[in-house]
Chain A
């Protein structure tokens, strides 16, 4: 009897002791959650009233987020059991999330160095917790992009490709963001105006996806990789490879019921390849139209209509093309990036069929409806170009002045947008066209200060050198050219710039360096 009672008591104590092992971690997690909750609440309170908090307030709020991790003992994972590990990971995620929130506020307070330091710390501390580490890394990329540290962003994106193995989707519609990284690098290069670099990155993306396929991923991941690979190969004009991979994707989609929703994408790619190979675009247009008709809810419906519109436009069938662009701009107005492109093309066609008023209204609406798109960059200039075409000089000058205002408003809307160098470059184009040389020099100054390293800035500096020289501002001209040499030492124009500088100094031109 006594022995049995002793055994029962020992058993109860053992169970209690096993539970007690996690009490410290549970209490730490609770404390961390409480601090995080209060930090979030403080931030909400600071944002009340619609006014953006100033940098000092943001840094105070950031401090509240950083408090979450302070006072929590390391290591977070205490014990070897599954439960201890899961609790420890929970705790790590809360602290990591709070640190990332602190980093976000540092970014808002215009203190990227603080933010990047914190994100790097979270990434290092996350260690085996891939989800947290990925989150920190993606956030770092976003911050680097925002502060125009594009090369660092690309470097980090490349490291991420090596570091993280893409995961198969758990349900249809999910996609591991790592799969988007190669194309994100390409986009980044394009945003930088580096078309050569973008081509190199596109080739690297093709190799990356091909390498992933060699590893024999599960069907759901294989389909996603194949879809991306086909897209990249189409862009690289690798028709043969794209067709082969498309066939492989098609087989996979047909044999795997889970992948049936990929059918619109497969059909779109098939039509696209056919459109490139076939001299007669009519069957391709029919394929695109059928796709849009059969899968109206798919994102490929809008893209198909746009592609069909482009082919019809090339055939000179303006009314039919216009009809398709109209459907895209009304029914699929939220579909990026097709909708703004379709709206731009629609405006062009409306003008060609004689409805300039409608065309002008559409062009004017683009920067408002779709800011930060290539269409928004092109639309204001397109209005001025039309006035030039019809010989209305005053109308063109007015449109150019109006375009300057539009671009300035777009810059003011988001000063960190990757489109700002393009807007500034177009402002410069407009100012040069209306002979506003003082305004143009001010724009070049702004580009030199804000868009250093951008290829458009290189052209602007050269233009600035010429303009300042013409208007007798030799020192200013010298300043622009020297800045060009500092920022673009690998440019093929370096020798010419040196010669110009020598001329400005009144010296014989120096011999170009080998």
Chain B
């Protein structure tokens, strides 16, 4: 099968056209948890805010950050850890569930509701491992960027341009890593898929389709990126010149947009995967 740009575009268009709240709901739960966390973070002055979001920060060894307005400068980092946790742990069940719902029209067994729990069980471990490995690689990538690339870029570009270039390189690298593991949950929900098959098959597919997957990621994620860039590069400025709570608002907007983007990326990738299977059979 010749996967040209038309097929990729068709998959993306179909993913958007067939958007359904039922299919999106698992991503919505993750989003709900993220928004709840941000709401709690905005209320650290109350006992319940400090007992929840504050305790999460303390658990991560950031007790010193529980001060106003420093907490809001730390919040983008904290929110990204919470996001990574939510997409990795509850996401190991919720993402395969969303994929099962997306692929149900194409899979008769799933359409009739048979074996959903079984498929979820078989997908849990590979999805979790893929998320953990992906997170570990992302941390490694951040280290490479800060230790190796950032000084080079800073010497070439100064001020905001330099910071923006470093941020862009860091985000693009993170996207590549995410793209490599994107097909693991898709492969894991295939009937009778074993852990090894799901991991190797998923990563192989990720490598093979990396260009198209990156296209999906960039196409759907770009509306969220300005908000992420704003809070990650200008948190101190927002705190000082505007109001610190704006950081939480920007993070909430980012979470909403990236949740929708994640759903559309998985939906498009699942369709591309399905099209490949159909072609093979």
- List residues of chain A with CB under 8 Å of any chain B CB: 19-20, 23-24, 26-27, 29-31, 33-34, 37
B66 within 8 A of A: yes
In Å, the complex CA distance between A213 and B54 comes to: 49
Contact between A34 and B68 (Cβ–Cβ < 8 Å)? Answer: yes
Known contacts A27-B44, A30-B45, A34-B45; is-contact A20 B68 (Cβ 8 Å): no
Known contacts A19-B55, A19-B58, A34-B45; is-contact A27 B67 (Cβ 8 Å): no
CB distance from B207 to the nearest CB of A (A): 42
In Å, the complex CA distance between A34 and B69 comes to: 7
Known contacts A26-B54, A30-B50; is-contact A37 B44 (Cβ 8 Å): no
| 14 cross-chain CB contacts under 8 A | A20-B51, A23-B47, A23-B54, A23-B55, A24-B50, A26-B50, A26-B66, A27-B45, A30-B45, A30-B68, A33-B68, A34-B68, A34-B69, A37-B68
**Considering the complex, which residues of chain B in the window 79-94 have a beta carbon less than 8 Å from any beta carbon of chain A?**
none
Known contacts A19-B55, A19-B58, A27-B44; is-contact A33 B67 (Cβ 8 Å): yes
Q: Which residue among A29, A30, A34 has the maximum number of chain B CB atoms within 10 Å of its CB?
A: A30
CB distance from B271 to the nearest CB of A (A): 44
In Å, the complex CA distance between A23 and B49 comes to: 9
Using CB atoms, name the residue of chain B closest to A41.
B243
Known contacts A19-B55, A30-B67; is-contact A24 B47 (Cβ 8 Å): yes
Which residues of A sit under 8 angstroms from B50, Cβ to Cβ?
Answer: 23-24, 26-27, 30
Contact between B67 and A23 (Cβ–Cβ < 8 Å)? Answer: no
Using CB atoms, name the residue of chain A closest to B45.
A31
Main secondary structure of the interface of A (DSSP, over half): helix
Known contacts A30-B44, A30-B45, A30-B71; is-contact A23 B51 (Cβ 8 Å): yes
- List residues of chain B with CB under 8 Å of any chain A CB: 44-47, 49-51, 54-55, 58, 66-69, 71
Contact between B51 and A30 (Cβ–Cβ < 8 Å)? Answer: no
In Å, the complex CA distance between A62 and B47 comes to: 27
CB distance from A328 to the nearest CB of B (A): 42
In Å, the complex CA distance between A24 and B66 comes to: 13
CB distance from B73 to the nearest CB of A (A): 13
In Å, the complex CA distance between A19 and B50 comes to: 11
CB distance from B239 to the nearest CB of A (A): 9
Contact between A27 and B47 (Cβ–Cβ < 8 Å)? Answer: yes
CB distance from B115 to the nearest CB of A (A): 33
CB distance from B201 to the nearest CB of A (A): 38
CB distance from A88 to the nearest CB of B (A): 15
In Å, the complex CA distance between A23 and B47 comes to: 6
Using CB atoms, name the residue of chain A closest to B50.
A27
CB distance from A42 to the nearest CB of B (A): 12
Beyond the given pairs A20-B51, A33-B68, 11 more chain A to chain B contacts, judged by CB atoms under 8 angstroms and listed by A's residue number, are: A19-B58, A23-B50, A24-B50, A27-B54, A29-B66, A30-B71, A31-B45, A34-B45, A34-B68, A34-B69, A37-B68
Which residues of B sit under 8 angstroms from A23, Cβ to Cβ?
Answer: 47, 50-51, 54-55
Using CB atoms, name the residue of chain A closest to B63.
A26
Per a CB cutoff under 8 Å, which of A19, A20, A24, A29 touches B67? A29
Which residues of A sit under 8 angstroms from B71, Cβ to Cβ?
Answer: 30
Q: Which residue among A26, A31, A33, A34 has the maximum number of chain B CB atoms within 10 Å of its CB?
A: A26
Contact between A27 and B68 (Cβ–Cβ < 8 Å)? Answer: no
